[in-house]
């Protein structure tokens, strides 16, 4: 009889635990949702993003309340985080600066004059996290263009000029990937040792990007190249989801500038001093 009562009591305890746990459908709201962050598609489509990169996440609900913030590694290829059950906006920013949290103070990522843009990939998407499990496949888009330019003659641009990149957009808002207006100003410091200069530039929407050539160690502007207008004439789309890179080849002897966009077939030629 004692054994029977013990079994009865044990069964009652187990039943009570089951009723208050997260496995009973009537009582799931207080329990978290386990959100899988899937990096596999990102790593497959963006070979320039290595597994040593970092991803900063911001999650907010439909009322624009920030729910949580995470910084994760891209290795392993999938990671699970616990979130409050809701319909969540997942904002992701992939970068190669493990010591920096780009989204610590909000979603706007901007650069003060004198600072070059980082290699940033960003995405924003809504995920239904109202159940116990959900999955978010990250598909961040390239938010920068790399301008590469060379001197066809002697590759000594940095020794002959002070070169300044000037634009009217200084960053972007990761919440909707819109451009943030403000002066973007970067002075080229040095080439790569082989005469090539590469500068990362944020999305420029007004076609007013300039490459300025200043007299070395003086304050006299010699001439400038309206790179933004050249890109516009060539059909470059500044609103593209993933910004392509482009290169300039400068021929001072014939006063010509050659523009090539990404892997496009055509090369566009402009007069250097127009």
CATH number, domain containing residue 134: 2.60.40
Please, how many CA atoms are within 13 Å of residue 173, restricted to the half-sphere of its CB?
A: 7
User: Tell me, what's the pLDDT at 268?
Assistant: 95
Domain's final residue, options 109, 141, 173: 141
* Tokens (6 digits) for 17: 């635990």
User: Tell me, what's the pLDDT at 27?
Assistant: 52
On whether both 239 and 258 belong to a single domain, the answer is yes
Q: What residues contact 271, with CB distance under 8 A and at least 6 apart?
A: 255, 256, 257
Domain's final residue, options 101, 118, 141: 141
Is residue 138 within 8 A of residue 41, CB to CB? The reply is: yes
Q: Domain range holding 251?
A: 145-271
Q: Is the dihedral of CA 73, 76, 77, 83 positive or negative?
A: negative
Q: DSSP 3-state assignment of 22?
A: coil
User: Tell me, what's the pLDDT at 218?
Assistant: 72
User: Tell me, what's the pLDDT at 136?
Assistant: 94
CB atoms within 10 A of CB 175: 17
Count of structural domains, the chain:
2
On whether both 192 and 263 belong to a single domain, the answer is yes
pLDDT in tens, the chain (274 residues): 444 444 455 445 544 444 445 544 445 557 899 999 998 887 777 666 665 678 888 888 877 666 667 777 777 778 898 888 889 999 988 888 877 778 877 889 999 999 999 999 999 999 999 999 999 998 889 999 999 988 766 667 777 888 999 999 999 999 899 999 999 999 987 777 777 889 999 999 989 999 999 998 778 999 999 999 999 999 999 999 999 999 999 888 888 999 999 989 999 999 988 7
On whether both 49 and 100 belong to a single domain, the answer is yes
On whether both 65 and 179 belong to a single domain, the answer is no
Q: DSSP 3-state assignment of 80?
A: strand
Residue 248 maps to a domain: yes
User: Tell me, what's the pLDDT at 221?
Assistant: 93
Domain's final residue, options 122, 141, 160: 141
Secondary structure tally for the chain: helices H, strands E: 4, 18
């Amino acid at each position: 009889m004692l054994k029977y009562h013990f079994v009865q009591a044990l069964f009652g305890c187990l039943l009570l635990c089951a009723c208050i746990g997260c496995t009973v459908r009537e009582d799931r709201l207080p329990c978290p949702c386990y959100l899988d962050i899937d990096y596999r598609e990102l790593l497959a489509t963006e070979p320039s993003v290595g597994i040593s990169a970092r991803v900063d996440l911001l999650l907010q609900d439909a009322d624009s309340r920030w729910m949580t913030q995470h910084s994760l590694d891209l290795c392993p290829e999938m990671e699970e985080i616990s979130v409050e059950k809701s319909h969540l906006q997942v904002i992701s920013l992939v970068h190669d600066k493990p010591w920096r949290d780009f989204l610590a103070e909000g979603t706007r990522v901007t650069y003060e004059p004198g600072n070059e843009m980082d290699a940033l990939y960003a995405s924003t998407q809504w995920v239904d996290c109202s159940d116990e499990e959900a999955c978010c496949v990250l598909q961040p888009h390239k938010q920068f263009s790399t301008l590469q330019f060379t001197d066809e003659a002697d590759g000594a641009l940095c020794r002959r000029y002070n070169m300044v990149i000037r634009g009217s957009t200084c960053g972007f808002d990761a919440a909707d990937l819109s451009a943030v207006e403000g002066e973007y100003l970067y002075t080229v410091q040095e080439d790569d040792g082989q005469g090539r200069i590469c500068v990362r530039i944020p999305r420029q929407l007004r076609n007013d990007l300039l490459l300025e050539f200043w007299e070395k160690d003086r304050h006299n502007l010699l001439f400038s190249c309206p790179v933004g207008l050249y890109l516009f004439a060539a059909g470059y789309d500044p609103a593209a989801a993933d910004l392509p890179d482009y290169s300039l080849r400068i021929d001072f002897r014939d006063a010509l500038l050659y523009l090539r966009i990404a892997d496009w077939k055509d090369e566009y030629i402009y007069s250097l001093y127009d």
